[in-house]
């Protein structure tokens, strides 16, 4: 990720203010997406140790050039081979004379935590949860631009695959074609392993694409997304490839109405639970509440699932710049599943839906 050094510097300074508020001298960032967010570095096996008047991006010689390219203005500590990551991080903390240093409890193994304690003398390691994730929850216009681009790549790839779908296509084949198409359209890669499910397989919210062919059942569910410059999109559509009974149409309309209600409830000031409830009520009133077993949606950004989650228990208050999926679903074991998913950014006046792949009942009938 190429950027001016100030762009990431500002993010690190925001984290420094959080440290100050919490009386921490330093902070060790171990989660790769958080390192990326704070420095622009997109490789792996690299920690960021941050304190009020300094920082050290701790990496190894494989990444020297990449860091120079991606992270101008960041202080780097390339650990010699033979000095492990934990030892290097502990050394950096001692060298900066840090007393209390926060670590990411959700992203540090017990083993690493214990050796940090053994290696770092008087440093007190303090458990923290999701501080950087909280900073990431509101996206800036650059980030929204990337998600928008990822959405465009996913939508165009889907349109191409839909147009060339054949009755003998297998689930995995469709997933592979879709992912290839997204790359051809400029995506770095797929945002996550594409889900393609024929018929009853669609009842599994996270079905793994297999050998089932399109012609075996009228329902085809596809859940896919693109990764553009590390930012992701996430959509789901159901296609109908042969004659199908009225039950499907009734259920499809129900899920579509639930999604519309959820999207309409998105605005600054609404809680995530309220948005979930708006959609859930439609499905409950339709008599299928128990067939909708997951939350309404999730944040999307550097990770495919991130804060805020739209779920019955989430107290997050929506703010402009948050990007969430809205994906109600109804799953009936042995019969199949219907899920419709779009990506929505919270704006100052309400919301903007970033994805526009057709989804009305008329649009989803196709004859491969």
Considering beta carbons, is residue 216 or 223 the nearer one to Zn ion?
Answer: 223
CA 67 to chain centre: 24
State the number of binding residues for Zn ion (CB under 5 A). 5
Phi and psi, residue 327, nearest 5°: -145, 70
Least distance from Zn ion to the Cβ atom of residue 146, Å: 17
Considering beta carbons, is residue 227 or 234 the nearer one to Zn ion?
Answer: 234
DSSP characters over 101-155: EEEEGGG--HHHHHHHHHHSTTPEEEEE-SHHHHHHTS--HHHHHHHHHHHHHHH
DSSP state at residue 242: S
Per-residue mark of binding to Zn ion, 177-216 (x: CB under 5 A): ----------------------------------------
Least distance from Zn ion to the Cβ atom of residue 310, Å: 10
- Of 161, 343, 160, 148, the closest CA to residue 228 belongs to 148
Considering beta carbons, is residue 228 or 234 the nearer one to Zn ion?
Answer: 234
**How far is the C-alpha of 20 from the C-alpha of 275, rounded, in Å?**
34
Where does this chain touch Zn ion (CB under 5 A) — which range of 10-18, 78-86, 219-227, 244-252? 219-227
Where does this chain touch Zn ion (CB under 5 A) — which range of 31-39, 86-94, 165-173, 222-230? 222-230
Q: How far apart are the first and last CA of the chain?
A: 40
Where does this chain touch Zn ion (CB under 5 A) — which range of 53-61, 89-97, 285-293, 337-345? 337-345
Where does this chain touch Zn ion (CB under 5 A) — which range of 39-47, 182-190, 279-287, 320-328? 320-328
Determine the length of the chain: 368
Considering beta carbons, is residue 48 or 340 the nearer one to Zn ion?
Answer: 340
Question: What tokens appear for 149 in the block?
Answer: 């681009």
Least distance from Zn ion to the Cβ atom of residue 195, Å: 7
DSSP characters over 22-39: TT-SEEEE--HHHHHHHH
Out of 133, 234, 276, 303, the residue judged to bind Zn ion by CB under 5 A: 234
Out of 55, 104, 143, 223, the residue judged to bind Zn ion by CB under 5 A: 223
**How far is the C-alpha of 198 from the C-alpha of 368, rounded, in Å?**
14
Least distance from Zn ion to the Cβ atom of residue 327, Å: 5
**How far is the C-alpha of 116 from the C-alpha of 112, rounded, in Å?**
6
Q: Does 325 bind Zn ion (CB under 5 A)?
A: yes
The torsion region of residue 17 among left (phi > 0), alpha (psi -120 to 50) and beta comes to: alpha
Considering beta carbons, is residue 88 or 154 the nearer one to Zn ion?
Answer: 154
Considering beta carbons, is residue 55 or 234 the nearer one to Zn ion?
Answer: 234
Considering beta carbons, is residue 313 or 348 the nearer one to Zn ion?
Answer: 313
Q: Does 357 bind Zn ion (CB under 5 A)?
A: no
Considering beta carbons, is residue 72 or 312 the nearer one to Zn ion?
Answer: 312
- Of 58, 339, 74, 15, the closest CA to residue 201 belongs to 339
Least distance from Zn ion to the Cβ atom of residue 300, Å: 7
Binding site for Zn ion (CB under 5 A): 223, 234, 236, 325, 341
């Amino acid at each position: 990720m190429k950027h001016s050094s100030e762009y990431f510097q500002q993010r690190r300074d925001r984290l420094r203010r959080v440290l100050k508020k919490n009386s921490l001298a330093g902070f060790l960032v171990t989660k790769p997406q958080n390192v990326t967010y704070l420095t622009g570095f997109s490789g792996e096996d690299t920690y960021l140790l941050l304190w009020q008047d300094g920082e050290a991006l701790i990496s190894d010689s494989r990444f020297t050039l990449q860091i120079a390219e991606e992270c101008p203005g960041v202080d780097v500590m390339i650990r010699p081979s033979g000095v492990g990551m934990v030892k290097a991080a502990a050394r950096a903390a001692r060298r900066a004379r840090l007393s209390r240093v926060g670590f990411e409890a959700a992203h540090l193994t017990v083993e690493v935590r214990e050796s940090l304690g053994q290696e770092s003398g008087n440093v007190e390691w303090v458990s923290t949860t999701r501080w950087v994730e909280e900073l990431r929850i509101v996206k800036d216009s650059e980030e929204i631009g990337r998600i928008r681009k990822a959405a465009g790549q996913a939508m165009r790839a889907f349109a191409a695959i839909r147009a060339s779908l054949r009755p003998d296509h297998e689930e995995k084949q469709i997933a592979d074609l879709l992912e290839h198409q997204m790359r051809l359209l400029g995506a770095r890669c797929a945002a996550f392993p594409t889900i393609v499910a024929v018929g009853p397989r669609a009842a599994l919210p996270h079905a793994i694409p297999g050998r089932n062919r399109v012609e075996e059942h009228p329902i085809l569910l596809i859940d896919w997304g693109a990764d553009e410059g590390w930012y992701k999109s996430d959509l789901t559509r159901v296609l109908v490839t042969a004659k199908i009974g009225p039950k499907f149409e009734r259920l499809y309309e129900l899920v579509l109405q639930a999604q519309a209600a959820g999207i309409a409830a998105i605005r600054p000031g609404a809680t995530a639970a309220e948005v979930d409830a708006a959609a859930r009520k439609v499905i409950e009133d339709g008599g299928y509440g128990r067939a909708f077993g997951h939350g309404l949606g999730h944040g999307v950004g550097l990770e495919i699932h991130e804060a805020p989650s739209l779920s019955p228990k989430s107290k997050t208050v929506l703010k402009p710049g948050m990007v969430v999926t809205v994906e109600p679903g109804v799953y009936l074991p042995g019969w199949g599943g219907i899920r419709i998913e779009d990506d929505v950014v919270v704006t100052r006046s309400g919301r903007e839906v970033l994805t526009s792949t057709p989804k009305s009942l008329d649009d989803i009938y196709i004859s491969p």
